[in-house]
Amino acid sequence: MEVGVNKLGALIKARRNEIGLSQQALGSLCGTSDSEIAKIEKGERKMPNCQTLCSIAKNLNFHPLELLRVAGYLTNDDIGHSLAISGLEQLDAIEISHVQAFVDFLVNRKRQAKPVNVEFGE
């Protein structure tokens, strides 16, 4: 778990610095203290609060499942392919509904496709 916590902290710190937020600013956006952000970044908080991680994810443009996986709350098997499409967290509800409609279209088209039987040697 410790490796995940250290990786989590480094990931959060790198993105926070990339965006140009201080620990205090991120804490304020997330409804927590800058000391809590510091503890998470340093790996001192062994099991960060799930709500806090989701709030950090939202404010740093991560998919929440990504941070929960890195923190050790979820495994790749739990998530499946949920993280395969990056950038979904930046879409609003209408845009997500368009993406879902397209996925539904592709799934239905695949279900309706009839298998082609190819026989060799005739």
Among the listed residues 92, 85, 51, the one whose alpha carbon sits nearest the alpha carbon of residue 68: 51
Which pLDDT band holds residue 1 (cuts at 50, 70, 90)?
very low
What is the Cα 56 distance to its own chain's centre?
A: 11
Segment 4-44, tens digit of pLDDT = 668 999 999 999 999 999 999 999 999 999 999 999 999 99
Q: What is the pLDDT of residue 118?
A: 57
Residues 76, 79, 82, 87, CA torsion sign: negative
- The confidence score (pLDDT) of residue 70 equals 92
Report how far residue 111's alpha carbon sits from residue 74's, in angstroms, rounded to the nearest whole number: 31
Q: Which two tokens stand for residue 91?
A: 């879409």
**Tokens 């340093």 -> residue:** 42
